[in-house]
Structure 1
Amino acid sequence: MNRELTFGLRAMRRRPTAVLAAWSVPEVLPTLFFGLAVAHATDAFLAGRTTLGLAWLGGLIAAAGLGAIGASQVYRRLGELVEPFRDTLVQRVVDGALANGIRGARDDGAVARLNRQVELVRDTYAGLILVVRNFLVTVTGVVTGLLSLAPVIAVFVLPPFLLGFGLSLAILGLAAGRIRASIRADEDLAVTAGMTFAGIRDVTAAGAGDYAAGLVGLPIEAHARAERNLAKVAALRTLCFAVGGWLPLLVLLGAAPWLIDRGVSTGTLLGGLTYVLLGLQPALGTMLSALGDSGLRYVVTLGRILDTSATPSAEEPAHEPPRGHVVRLSKVSFAYGPEAEPVLDKLDLVIPENDHLAVVGPSGIGKSTLAALICGLLPPTGGRIQLGGVPAVQAGPKTRVLIPQEAYVFSGTVLDNLTYLHRSATLAEVEAAIEAVGATALVRRLGGLAARVRPGPLSPGERQLIALTRAYLSPAPLVILDEATCHLDPEAERQAEEAFAARQGSLVVIAHRVSSALRARRVLVLDGRHPAVGTHQGLLRESQLYRELVGHWQDGDQIQPAS
């Protein structure tokens, strides 16, 4: 736990932290003042001094206004602390996943960490900053107000308050174990669901729907069971809140006759009750919820990220690097489950260096599955796949790049998006890649390489152009375009594919237009039984399925998106 807390504290930049603390000072005033105002206003009204009572209430309103100004500034400054922290986590997860890939180690949980767990840590980190700040502000204001009002009341109020807070800390160990179980269940669910949904068309085509449903159902139930166990811990937190939040109120009410006999006024007693009900009780409830839920999720999830995303040491031996980039598939089979029909069955295929291969076939026949197998994203259920003489799953990430139909663009500059796979690229190389792929007009419209990109407003075609330029610029000698140009018009697609064909290395295109097949040196036709490889003209003579596909294309139809 100390490691996670230290990591969060080190991520807090000094200047934004100091500014946030300074704007928190005005918020102490209404907390400190409301008990005093209620006490003195009550005594004033009881004594018939209405003007004085109204003056105290007016002062309370003024203090509340100052506190609201401070609170608004705090929320404005919060992003200056949280967003750099999130960026650090994303970089760590990505670096760790890439390092694991280079070593040939599967890292199936990386997607869950990057998508859900990083966002969970970012949100809880922001929430904890606010909750801890509000707790300190409230307790400081209440203690100062109680001591100013009547120190004897603090003697009755603070001990049970601290007891409830201490009990909540005592159950953190139990809660931490159950949070860890929830995180593991979340990762298992993400891996299973991601694998199943990625091949949903192939699953449907192979009739493996029942098996896939059962496969996903098991981690769903495990995740639900972990969440139910967390709910039981929440019940214990309710008991802690009763001790720390309601017991001070009962103690103060029980001691009221004794206090009044010793000269404590009605207004002073009411002011003390106000500090408990409107100060300590809400602050404790929020703090208990944060520590028992958000705090534990922060510690456990961040610990999971730090443990699984660590960069391997330099002394750790690396796998033998590929020798060239020839792809060999030997009797490769793949099925989404032991009872399902194979999507690919004993496929033999060689993609020599500097080849240009188009892959065609009906929807659900396994084109995208083939792309995932070549990239090492899926292990074959039979046969073997080699890239440069080493198993595909062990070939490093710099050996191939896959661009899917839904291109990924992140918030950042245009240059950051384009050079993500080649950080050391020169400006001349970047500009040459932009021109070759046909993204010049897009980059100009976005405002140049230094402009910031917002992924939301971009069209699917614009996202594809950015991803294509990124892939073109990468050092990978093997590029696989899996419906990566489907949102471009035919002319833009032609320019992009011809640029990759002229680029040093091999190109595999999952074709969705006849023009892609015509531009390729060779064409692979997948029909589920007897795949055929040849030239466009040769396949027109030898493959009935290919003739049918070309006929549909020429009639203006396109193959449905690959699966």
Structure 2
Amino acid sequence: MRRELRYAVRSFRAAPTVALVAWSVPEALPAATSGFVIANAVDRGFLAGRPVVGLFWLASLLVVAGAGALGTRMVFRRLGELAEPFRDGLVERVVGGAIRNGIAERPDHGALARLTRQVEVARDTYAGLVIVIRGFLVTVVGVVVGVFSLAPAIAFLLLPPFVLGLGGFVAMLGLAANRQRAAVLADEKLSAAAGQVFAGTRDVVACGTEKDAAALVKQPIDEQAAAERALAGVAALRTACFALGGWVPLLLLLFAGPALVRDGLTAGELLGGATYVLFGLQPALQSFVAGVGGSGLRFVITLGRVLDASDVPPAEPRHGTATGYAVELRKVTFAYGPHAEPVIADLDLSVVPGEHLAVVGPSGIGKSTLVSLVCGLRRPDRGEVLLGETPAAELDLATLAATRVLIPQEAYVFTGTLRDNLTYLNPGATTAEIELAAAKVGARFGDYDAQVSPLEMSSGERQLVALVRAYLSPAPLIVLDEATCHLDPAAERRAELAFAERPGTLVVIAHRISSALRAERVLVLDGAGAAVGDHATLLRTSPLYRELLGHWEAGRTPASQPA
């Protein structure tokens, strides 16, 4: 729990924290003055036979309450300045942890749940805790100031049991957090065991193994029940702490009332002390116990899970150095899982510098998997993928970024200026270079310094931005993974020809078979093997290539035939 609390405290930002403290001052006025006002209304007004004076004192509470309401309003307005940066920090941790896991090829199946659910739970409970704890401190400080100004004798009577009750509750928070965590884990264990049994209910009934199935879930049920009983015990202790801190002060005041009057206290002062207890200390302690004991524990546990999952070690550093940009695959085999059929099996391929290669095959046959292997995003199960003379998966990220550019089917565009989107792979590109690249690729842009929003752009517009960005990149290897699928055939042809004329190597995962006709060589993946060669060779040797070409030619119209 200490780690989570340290993280929460470090997330406080100076400016909004100071603003919250400043606006808490007027919010503390009702708590500080309520008992004092009641005492004067009784002693100087109603008991003195001057009801107008008593009403005047009571009316002053309305003014004070108005100031307190203004403070509360401003506190809630500034709360987002703490809660939203806290949420953003958690999002960065979750995304960063997921990326590190992906780079290290460690499966992280819970990243999406942490990002969409657990981060929001942590943000909401964090904001709630800020309000609860701040409100508690404001009220207690106001009550302490008010009761000492009213009658120090009452303060020394009320505050010790309140402090004892508060201290007991704070002392048991660690125990409560441990038991809450144990209850969550027990519930998850029971759900997993019950899910296995429920999934095989028909088999259990058919085989008459109900007793065995019940035995499988008996221990998780017993553990979950024990965890819930332990939580109930914590709830009982919490109630006892509230009784000590919230009700014992009032009882002491009532029992000591006659003695206090004999010592010179007035009836109004006694009533003011009771007001401080009933409308100050009791509600404050009740909200604190309920908020910290409920939302606080959820916050600690949820934040702990997010931190545990995001505190992942980085992947082993890659130390390889590229010595060229030829692409070579040597007996490469890759499967998605130890028991899955290989997507790519014993593939040999060599792409020399400056070559234009197209990869074709049915959907789902492994073309994008091949791209991931070539670009160093995945490691082969067997064999080697070399960029230059170095295994691609061993190259450090900076070297990979300088060696190859991959444009996937869904092009990435970020909110910012058009110039930033076009040049972030080559920040030093001039306007003239941008215009030349756009003209080559076939893109038409307006103001390069205008702001762009990905949500307001079509898929084709985003692809054109990504294509110009890749063209401007100094990387000698360009890989287009259906990167022109949202363009019309004419625009696709122009873009591919531009990259083919660009110095360097081009690998195109073909969206249309026409991409293969423009390539120097074609790799055909059919699931059982691979065939590679030029267009004429594959027409003779590859039935799948002839089939793909036949489907394409049958679907063409004279107007759509390439020039």
Compute the TM-score of the two structures, normalised by the length of structure 1: 0.72
Q: Equivalences for 1:179-258 in 2 at 5 Å? A: 238=235, 241-255=238-252, 257-258=254-255
**In 2: Cα distance, 1:113 partner to 1:85 partner:** 15
Contact 1:400 1:478 in 2 (8 A): yes
- Contact preservation (8 Å) 1:322, 1:388: yes
Structure 1 position 287, deviation (Å):
3.3
Query: In structure 1, what residue type is equivalent to 2:159?
Result: A
Is structure 2 residue 141 aligned with structure 1 residue 143?
yes
**Aligned partners of 2:245 and 2:285 also within 8 Å:** no
Contact 1:20 1:77 in 2 (8 A): no
The alpha-carbon deviation at position 239 of structure 1 amounts to: 5.4
Q: Are positions 1:409 and 2:401 aligned together?
A: no
Give the deviation of 1:34 after TM superposition: 6.2
Q: Please, which of 161, 173, 182 is the counterpart of residue 156 of structure 1? A: 161
Change (3 A) 1:546 1:166: same
Show the counterpart of 1:351.
Answer: 351
Residues in 2 aligned to 1:477 and 1:385: alpha-carbon distance in whole angstroms: 17
CA distance in 1, matches of 2:42, 2:454: 58
Distance 1:278 1:116, change over 3 A: same
Distance 1:242 1:374, change over 3 A: farther
Name the structure 2 match of 1:502: 501
- Give the letter aligned to residue 131 of structure 1: L
Residue pair 1:433, 1:472 contacting (<8 A) in 2 also: yes
User: Does 2:288 match 1:283?
Assistant: yes
Query: For 1:132, which of 125, 130, 140 is the aligned residue?
Result: 130
The whole-number CA distance in structure 2 between the counterparts of 1:290 and 1:69 is 22
Moved more, 173-182 or 55-64: 173-182
Shift of 1:123: 7.6
Whole-Å Cα distance in 2 between the matches of residues 127 and 411 of structure 1?
A: 30
The Cα RMSD (Å) is: 4.7
CA distance in 1 between counterparts of 2:186 and 2:470 reads: 38
Aligned to 1:55: 59
Which residue identity does 1:145 align to in structure 2?
Answer: V
Question: In 2 relative to 1, CA 27–438 (structure 1 residues): closer, same or farther, beyond 3 Å?
Answer: farther
CA contact (8 A) 1:327 1:387 kept: yes
SS in 2 for 1:156: helix
- For 1:491 and 1:241, locate their aligned partners in 2 and report how far apart those are by CA, in whole Å: 73
Q: Give the whole-Å Cα distance in 1 for the aligned partners of 2:347 and 2:475.
A: 25
Q: Give 1:160-175 correspondences, 5 Å limit.
A: 160-169=165-174
Kindly state the Cα deviation for residue 74 of structure 1 after the two structures are TM-superposed.
0.5
- Match for residue 79 of structure 2? 75
Q: Which amino acid aligns with 1:143?
A: V
Point out which structure has higher relative CO (alpha carbons under 8 A, 6+ apart).
1
Cα offset, 1:157, TM superposition: 2.0
CA distance in 2, matches of 1:474, 1:115: 36
- Does 1:528 find its partner at 2:527? yes
Give the residue type in structure 2 aligned to 1:503.
R
* Cα pair distance change 1:15/1:156, threshold 3 Å: closer
Q: Is the 8 A contact 2:94 2:310 kept in 1?
A: no
Residues 372 and 5 of structure 1: CA distance in aligned 2, closer, same or farther (over 3 Å): same
**How big is the shift at 1:164?**
0.4
For residues 29-69 of structure 1, what are the alpha-carbon distances to aligned partners after superposition, in whole Å with 9 as ceiling and x for unaligned?
Answer: 45546676788889999867773475155235413431243
**Which protein shows a greater Rg?**
2
Q: 2:359, 2:524 within 8 Å by CA — same for their partners in 1?
A: yes
- Contact 1:37–1:59 at 8 Å: present in 2 too? no
Relative to structure 1, is the Cα distance of residues 14 and 275 closer, same or farther in structure 2, using a 3 angstrom cutoff? Answer: closer
1:467 paired residue number: 466
SS at match of 1:384: strand
2:331 corresponds in structure 1 to 331
Report what 2:200 is aligned to: none
Q: 1:389 corresponds to which residue?
A: 389
In 1, Cα distance between the equivalents of 2:238 and 2:496? 64
Alpha-carbon distance between aligned partners in 2 of 1:181 and 1:308, rounded to the nearest angstrom: 28
Check the 8 A contact 1:146/1:153 in 2, yes or no: no
- Say if 1:382 and 1:555 are closer, same or farther in 2 by CA, change over 3 A: same
Conservation of the 8 A alpha-carbon contact between 2:328 and 2:385:
yes
**What is the correspondence of 1:103-122 to structure 2 with a 5 Å cutoff?**
106=104, 108=106, 116=114
Shift, 1:160, TM fit = 0.5
**Aligned mates of 2:290, 2:345 — CA distance in 1:** 60
Residue 486 of structure 2 corresponds to residue 487 of structure 1: yes
Could you tell me which amino acid in structure 2 is paired with residue 409 of structure 1? V
Alignment partners' CA distance in 1, 2:365 and 2:355: 23
More moved, 347-356 vs 23-32: 23-32
Given that 2:125 and 2:299 are in contact with CA atoms closer than 8 Å, whether structure 1 keeps it comes out as yes
Q: Which amino acid aligns with 2:509?
A: I
Amino acid at match of 1:358: A
Residue identity over aligned pairs, in percent, reads 40
Moved more, 263-272 or 154-163: 263-272
One-letter amino acid matched to 2:141 = V
Counterpart AA for 1:466: V
Query: Cα distance, 1:490 vs. partner?
Result: 2.7
Work out whether residues 125 and 298 of structure 1, in 8 Å CA contact, stay in contact via their aligned partners in 2. no
Q: Cα distance 1:237–1:23, how it changes in 2: closer, same or farther (>3 A)?
A: farther
- Check the 8 A contact 2:135/2:284 in 1, yes or no: no
Letter in 2 for 1:140: V
Post-superposition offset of 1:165:
1.7
From the superposition, tell whether residues 59 and 173 of structure 1 become closer, same or farther in structure 2 (CA, over 3 Å).
same
- Contact kept in structure 1, 2:28 and 2:141, CA below 8 Å: no
- Structure 1 residues 341, 308: CA separation in 2 closer, same or farther (over 3 Å shift)? closer
Q: What is the CA–CA distance in structure 2 between the aligned matches of 1:120 and 1:466, rounded to whole Å?
A: 35
- Shifted more, 334-343 versus 359-368: the winner is 334-343
Q: Which moved more, 1:344-353 or 1:34-43?
A: 34-43
Q: Is the 8 A contact 1:385 1:392 kept in 2?
A: yes
Supply the AA of the counterpart residue of 1:406: E
Shift of 1:288: 4.1
Paired residue secondary structure (2:532)? strand
Q: Residues 504, 234 of structure 1: CA spacing in aligned structure 2 closer, same or farther, 3 A cutoff?
A: farther
| Equivalent residues, number | 500
Q: 1:17 to 1:157 in 2, by over 3 A?
A: closer
Q: 2-side partners of 1:504 and 1:46: how far apart?
A: 97
The one-letter code matched in structure 2 to 1:141 is T
Alpha-carbon distance in structure 1 between the residues aligned to 2:553 and 2:44: 92
Structure-1 separation of matches of 2:309 and 2:177? 17
User: Does the 8 A contact of 1:33 with 1:63 survive in 2?
Assistant: no
Q: How far, CA to CA, are the matches of 2:119 and 2:482 in structure 1?
A: 34
C-alpha separation in 1, matches of 2:464 and 2:172: 57
Q: 1:132 to 1:2 in 2, by over 3 A?
A: same
CA–CA distance in structure 2, aligned partners of residues 375 and 236 of structure 1: 57
Alpha-carbon spacing, 1:371–1:432, altered in 2? closer, same or farther (3 Å): same
Q: Which amino acid aligns with 2:146?
A: S
Deviation at residue 142 of structure 1 after TM alignment: 2.3
- Over 3 Å counting, the alpha-carbon distance change for 1:373 and 1:461 in structure 2 is same
* 1: CA distance, partners of 2:95 / 2:431: 23
Between the aligned partners of 1:14 and 1:79, the Cα distance in structure 2 is 13
> Partner of 1:293 in structure 2?
298
Q: 1:467-490: per-residue Cα shift (whole Å, max 9, x none)? A: 334433444332222222222233
- Secondary structure of residue in 2 paired with 1:456: helix
Tell me the CA shift for residue 450 of structure 1. 5.7
Tell me the SS of whatever aligns to 1:131.
helix
Inter-partner Cα distance in structure 2 for 1:179 and 1:78: 28
